[in-house]
Amino acid sequence: MKRRNIVFKALTCGLATLAFTACTDVWDSHYQPKPELNATETLWDLIEADPELSQFEAYVKATGYDQYLSQNRFYTVWAPVDGSEFYLTHPLEGVSDSMLNVYKFEFVENHIADYNHAATGVMSENKVKMLNGKYNRFEGNAGSYTFKAVPVKATNIAAKNGLLHKTESNAIFTANIWEQLDKIESVSLLNGFLKSYDEVIFDEVNSVQGPMVDGKVTYLDSVVIEHNAWFDRFGTVNREDSSYTMFAPTNRAWSEMLEKTKTYFVYDEETLDRDSLQEVMAKDFMCRFLVFSNSMQKSPTDSMTAYCYTNMSGYGRSQREVFKGDALKRLYANEVEKLELSNGTLHVVDSYNYRTFWHDTLRVQGETLYSTEDGAAVSEYINAIKSYATISKDSVEKYKHLHNGTVGVYKPSSPTARAQLTYTIPNVLSSKYRVKVVFVPANFINYRDTVLLPNKFNATLNYRDNKGRKKNISLGKNLLNDPTRVDTMTLIPTNAPEGVDYFEFPCNEFNAGTSSTLTQLVLAITVGSRETEFDRTFRIDQVFLEPVTE
């Protein structure tokens, strides 16, 4: 959660600050009164005087917009006449302050826009940005204009601070995905977690200072920074100028999956606030592939690419997850509701339809080990001289057997030396993995090496126990690889029950960083000084932990 998408919302220019003050002394020309209209009345004067707008007048006044529409700033208003549906279904009598704020945002601000928006000539595909940030269509031709598909009854009524249009009914408010989540009780658990990242910070630098009052600075124009740490990583579904597809699991589906997910993020007893951290990490991973940017999808009926990267902190792959085939079909399984919203589509689903992608393969390349001569750091290989071999992509038959075409080569530092390699594997979860090593034969790298001998080695797995202590377990002694092929060996704990080929890690180390990671695979040559039938050189393509799924 280190990256933040910061959305600046200036409570300025008399739009959203209770002080109704001006942004600056220099108004944009769009805001200036228009003397050429020869109007002497304000928009508020026109609304008050019109008998067809008495109900609209009441809502404007109740939300404080009578003060806006009385000032010199230039607005365009689309006023629904009396008897419109909104007035019938949203009474003012006895309304709470919180609901009044809803009326302000979803109704009043949905019918007022900055600037001059006159009905003139033929208008098509004409979108107007309203004060609430929504984009409503104002289109048609002479004598037949519509405002968000609602017929306009009267147009271009001039005021000295704007234009007034009268509509036959109200424009229906359409929520965006972020707003709609608040309205669906069945997804309240998901919504509550996402909204827990909301922050509002006062921006002192960009705010306009006023006079000192009782020794304290006051502000004529307050600016706040709104941000949610979830947006930039997983999708800015609060933006009206974007388009997304989002899947929202119901509370039942969320709770069911959360209990399973938490088992992967068990922290040791030395971890501060281990239970809270476990809960947050589990929920965080469950949210990672809920959002898809529609602009990124080349063929959404065939495949969908998630907005979020798989690799958030060195975990697994650094790429976006692609859903296709059965995985794509499962996204839409058990759909409860589909909602077309102002910035995309929201699918409410009654099952969590994702594979446990957080339990993914963890890889360490064979050539990544380092050693130091001055003792400044712990050597990851000893009694060996390191080099590496690269297989070109042009060698198609060879390259396809390797993970990235590079092999770590560790030759003994003397004729009798026994090389020892230590691979640190970060981000292990509290779950089951098969431990695997990919060995490469000598002639794979150099065709002149015709004598192919196996390595003989011991394998040990270091791990973190529930107390946070470093423990180890043997994965076999005097093991032999197959020197005639690229050999992927599964290293099985020597004390594993019959039929079990994996190790279950008791604690997770996700995002711990290599400095505190205790999970390591140690490979040590065990060839004696007189044993000539074995090769002392390790040639390692990769070490990886393969998840065991249930």
Domain co-membership, 182 together with 146: no
Residue range(s) defining the domain that contains residue 296: 178-197+236-349
Closest alpha carbon to 520 in 321, 380, 319, 412:
380
Which residue(s) pair with 487 in the sheet?
A: 439
- Once rounded to an integer, what is the mean pLDDT over residues 1-20? 31
Residue 218 falls within a domain, yes or no? no
pLDDT value, residue 314:
41
Domain co-membership, 161 together with 69: yes
pLDDT value, residue 374:
57
Whether pLDDT at 69 is above 90: yes
- Degrees to nearest 5, angle at CA 542 with 534 and 460: 65
Give the Cα separation of 65 and 55 in Å (integer).
14
Residue 498 falls within a domain, yes or no? yes
Whether pLDDT at 369 is above 80: yes
Residue 188 falls within a domain, yes or no? yes
Whether pLDDT at 345 is above 60: yes
Domain co-membership, 395 together with 461: yes
Which band of pLDDT confidence, cut at 50, 70 and 90, is reported for residue 33? very low
Domain co-membership, 182 together with 327: yes
CA–centroid distance for 296 within its chain: 14
Chosen domain end from 173, 208, 223: 173
pLDDT value, residue 296:
85
Closest alpha carbon to 301 in 281, 331, 328, 276:
328
Higher-scoring residue by pLDDT: 458, 5: 458
pLDDT digits (tens, 9 = 90+) for 494-530: 999 999 999 999 999 987 777 788 999 999 999 998 9
Give the CATH number for residue 484: 2.60.120.260
Describe the chain by its helix, strand, coil percentages, rounded to 5.
20, 30, 45
CB 433 within 8 A of CB 548: yes
- How far from each other are the two terminal CA atoms of the chain, in whole angstroms? 30
- Once rounded to an integer, what is the mean pLDDT over residues 469-486? 96
Tokens read off for 535: 């090769």
Give the CATH number for residue 51: 2.30.180.10
How many domains does the chain contain in total? 3
Give the Cα separation of 232 and 312 in Å (integer).
12
Scanning the structure block, which residue is given the tokens 């600050």?
A: 17
Closest alpha carbon to 177 in 154, 194, 157:
194
The β-bridge relationship of strands 406-412 and 538-547 is antiparallel
Scanning the structure block, which residue is given the tokens 């608040």?
A: 182
Domain co-membership, 192 together with 152: no
Residue 355 falls within a domain, yes or no? no
pTM, whole model, 2 decimals?
Answer: 0.78
pLDDT value, residue 20:
32
Query: How many residues make up the chain in this entry?
Result: 550
Which band of pLDDT confidence, cut at 50, 70 and 90, is reported for residue 258? very high
Domain co-membership, 308 together with 415: no
Taking only Cα atoms into account, the Rg of the chain, rounded to an integer number of angstroms, comes to 33
Domain co-membership, 168 together with 182: no
Chosen domain end from 326, 349, 372: 349
Tokens read off for 271: 């971890």
pLDDT value, residue 358:
85
Which band of pLDDT confidence, cut at 50, 70 and 90, is reported for residue 533? very high
Domain co-membership, 421 together with 543: yes
Give the Cα separation of 226 and 224 in Å (integer).
6
CB 95 within 8 A of CB 86: no
Domain co-membership, 343 together with 324: yes
Chosen domain end from 349, 382, 409: 349
Does residue 478 come out as left (phi exceeding 0), alpha (psi in the -120 to 50 range) or beta? Answer: left
φ and ψ at residue 264, rounded to 5 degrees: -85, -10
Domain co-membership, 49 together with 167: yes
Residue 113 falls within a domain, yes or no? yes
CA–centroid distance for 411 within its chain: 45
Q: Which range among 6-10, 61-65, 234-238, 352-356 has the greatest average pLDDT?
A: 61-65
Residue 15 falls within a domain, yes or no? no
For residue 263, count CB atoms less than 10 angstroms from its CB and return exposed for 0-12, middle for 13-18, buried for 19 or more.
Answer: middle
Element (H, E) at 390: strand 384-390
Question: What average pLDDT does the structure give for the chain?
Answer: 86
Residue 26 falls within a domain, yes or no? no
- Once rounded to an integer, what is the mean pLDDT over residues 156-176? 94
Which band of pLDDT confidence, cut at 50, 70 and 90, is reported for residue 2? very low
Range from 303-307, 330-334, 489-493 carrying the lowest mean pLDDT: 303-307
Domain co-membership, 162 together with 69: yes
Give the CATH number for residue 303: 2.30.180
Residue 228 falls within a domain, yes or no? no
Closest alpha carbon to 82 in 55, 104, 60, 57:
55
CA–centroid distance for 20 within its chain: 36
Higher-scoring residue by pLDDT: 8, 133: 133
Alpha helices in 208-364 (DSSP H): 229-234, 251-262, 274-286, 326-331
- Once rounded to an integer, what is the mean pLDDT over residues 390-396? 79
pLDDT digits (tens, 9 = 90+) for 424-466: 999 999 999 999 999 999 998 888 888 899 999 999 999 999 9
pLDDT value, residue 377:
57
Whether pLDDT at 94 is above 50: yes
DSSP character string of 413-482: SSTT---EEEEE-----SSEEEEEEEE--HHHH-TT-------EEEEEEEEE-TTS-EEEEE--SSEE--
Alpha helices in 141-238 (DSSP H): 177-181, 188-195, 229-234
Domain co-membership, 378 together with 466: yes
- Once rounded to an integer, what is the mean pLDDT over residues 97-108? 94
Q: Which range among 207-216, 265-274, 387-396, 417-426 has the greatest average pLDDT?
A: 417-426
What percent of the chain has a predicted confidence (pLDDT) above 70?
A: 88
Whether pLDDT at 1 is above 80: no
